[in-house]
Structure 1
Amino acid sequence: MDGVIEIEGDVAMTATDARARQTERMGTTPGFVAALDQSGGSTPKALKAYGIEPEVYGDDKDKMFDLVHQMRTRIITSPSFTSDHILAAILFEMTMDREIEGIPTADFLWQEKGIVPFLKIDKGLADEESHVRVMKPIPGLDELLHRAVEDKHIFGTKERSVILDDDQDGIKKIVDQQFELGEQVRAAGLVPILEPEVDIHAPNKQKAEERLHGLIREHIDALPLDARIMLKLTIPTTDDLYADFIADPKVLRVVALSGGYSREEANEKLARNHGLIASFSRALAEGLSHGQSQEEFDETLRASIDSIYAASVS
């Protein structure tokens, strides 16, 4: 863990030094989190929104992932994508295992951009039961977490499950699974972003969020005093519902997903929740196209980042 991973001037920075700086950044610096973690299931949608139709890659999964890595590389290397507004970026495993300009992606983010790298670790969702979709089993998780820490210099993880409606048994299963996985992640030396998403179309969204809040509160209260977690939650129907989580010293940051809202609507709702910051994926990339000139691409991305940042610090 203490191998040298970064050089700043003549000062060698150890992994422990870097982690301390990253923890401080995630806990106190204004900004938001960029979600660049579309996996196999969501990659075709991301590419289509970027202007690349499925016919371009067909059944060639390798070509599909090459194309989405090119898209992510263009975003990350853009002069608009800076640590002035972006605290961290969440990566898909295959993105973590690739390089940008000859440097491993996570190292490029931190060393070249000053942006903290996270890793999406869930492997998708199980079928609906009790109005929720819990995470599928994650085979080889211990090895993945070890590799993320020791080889790839990842700071934390993200793990998503979905609540489709208010259901006591279902939401309890979601929260129990999230915190159980979070303990495994913390034991590996990483900070977990627990993501029990409430579907924005849930018939009883407000009641589901209130139930979710109560169950998360119980779990946070049971954590040891030195525990540090993050939460990624749907922007709540009731403004500032999660204010107590934001103020809790065990919670490094509470971030919000865009959840299918347009960027404009997500920003408007986010701005009403004090201390809640964005972790947008589709909304961040809204308006970007592979056919744009570099100047057009950078300007579009800059406008997106500026608007999301403004909503995150309001």
Structure 2
Amino acid sequence: MKQEQMDRMHTGKGFIAALDQSGGSTPKALLQYGIKESSYSNDEEMFALVHEMRSRIVTSPAFDSKYILGAILFENTMNRTIHDRYTADYLWETKKIVPFLKVDEGLADLNDGVQLMKPMPKLNGLLKRAVERNIFGTKMRSVIKEANPEGIRRVVEQQFEIGKQIVSMGLVPIIEPEVDIHSADKEQSENLLKEEIIKQLSALDKDAKVMLKLSIPTEENFYKDLMDDPHMVRVVALSGGYDQKEANERLARNEGLIASFSRALSEGLTAQQSDEEFNAMLSRSIQAIYNASIT
């Protein structure tokens, strides 16, 4: 199974669906879906509603492995079931879509122009549970807001240090040092980021495999050479706040870069839609993101 999933992620045509909003971002995701905060009174009710939303997406006929290679979950979703099977098992066994898990605990405060990841004291236990739940890989996010060399170095070092811990558990880490699309010096940040990534890749053990999730670069095809690194399973792009149309247009100009969209994927989907309307909207979104990912 692992090798089949690895081959699919490395060479398959399609994109990754990011279904991993958690904690503070869940109310926003539900609001976008047409569910107001007054509809739930505690976290359990909130997470039950967001699982209903994600189950509706995942079980839709539009959510097809012809277009979607993988899906990123968060811990609460991993521990829940779809049609009486744990979410990761449903994704792979029913849909042939590779399951990933978001493992970070959110962002630290801004310092040196960046936001590192908060400490993750429970990471080892979470990774063990991920292995038990048949998860293929993980995802963790930091944010770069300014072209500060020291800050960017620390972001990349932290990402790869934890990435090595994830690799040691037999999982494939998606390393996500996001450059804020609104940053005044975005292109300069991307130059510094790429230098640090190359340094860290060259220091990895020969057999270590990683993925990168990056903001769509200012300079087209800027990350092309990273795709050829022997450690690299895939380089994927986040939508970063662009709407779906703009994200797709920018993505399509970068050969080999595929989407890992969250908000841009669920754009236009609401709880109030009939299944027919919902599936038609999701199908259009998936087709458009797929087309932008296969350039």
Please, what TM-score do these two structures have when normalized by structure 2?
0.99
**1:203 partner amino acid:** A
One-letter amino acid matched to 1:310: N
CA–CA distance in 2 between the matches of 1:170 and 1:106?
35
| Secondary structure, counterpart of 1:239 in structure 2 | coil
SS at match of 1:231: strand
Name which of 78, 88, 91 aligns with 1:109: 91
SS at match of 1:126: coil
**Corresponding residue for residue 11 of structure 1:** none
1:292 aligns with 2:276: no
Aligned to 2:140, the other structure's residue is in SS state strand
Work out the CA distance in 1 between the residues paired with 2:160 and 2:206. 15
Say which of 98, 115, 118 aligns to 1:133: 115
Q: Structure 2: how far apart are the matches of 1:247 and 1:41?
A: 36
Q: Which amino acid aligns with 1:20?
A: Q
Query: What is the identity, as a one-letter code, of the residue corresponding to 1:116?
Result: V
Distance (Å, rounded) in 1 between the aligned partners of 2:199 and 2:215: 19
Amino acid at match of 2:234: R
Unaligned runs of 5+ residues in structure 2 are: none
1:277 paired to 2:258:
yes
- Pairwise CA distance, 1:225: 2.2
Alignment of 1:65-104 (within 5 A): 65-104=47-86
Aligned with residue 192 of structure 1, among 164, 173, 177: 173
What CA deviation, in whole Å up to 9, does each residue of 1:51-106 have, x standing for no partner? Answer: 00111114x11110000000000000000001000000000100000000110000
Among candidates 128, 136, 150, match of residue 146 of structure 1: 128
Per the alignment, residue 21 of structure 1 pairs with: 4
State the identity as a percent.
57
The one-character-per-residue Cα deviations of 1:195-248 (angstroms, maximum 9, x if unpaired) are 000000111000000100011011111212211100000000011110011122
CA distance in 2, matches of 1:310, 1:247: 22
| Equivalent residue number for residue 13 of structure 1 | none
Alignment of 1:135-214 (within 5 A): 135-149=117-131, 151-214=132-195
Compute the displacement of 1:249 (Å).
Answer: 2.1
Question: Which segments of 5 or more consecutive residues in structure 1 lack a partner in the other structure?
Answer: 1-17
Q: Are 1:120 and 2:102 matched, yes or no?
A: yes
Aligned to 1:5: none
State the SS of the aligned residue for 1:273.
Answer: coil
1:254 aligns with 2:235: yes
**Partner of residue 206, structure 2:** 225
Query: In structure 2, what is the Cα distance between the partners aligned to 1:224 and 1:55?
Result: 50
Structure 2 residue aligned with 1:49: 32
User: TM-score scaled by structure 1?
Assistant: 0.93
- Kindly state the Cα deviation for residue 114 of structure 1 after the two structures are TM-superposed: 0.2
Tell me how far 1:126 sits from its aligned partner.
0.4
Q: Tell me how far apart the structure 2 counterparts of residues 140 and 289 of structure 1 sit (CA, whole Å).
A: 34
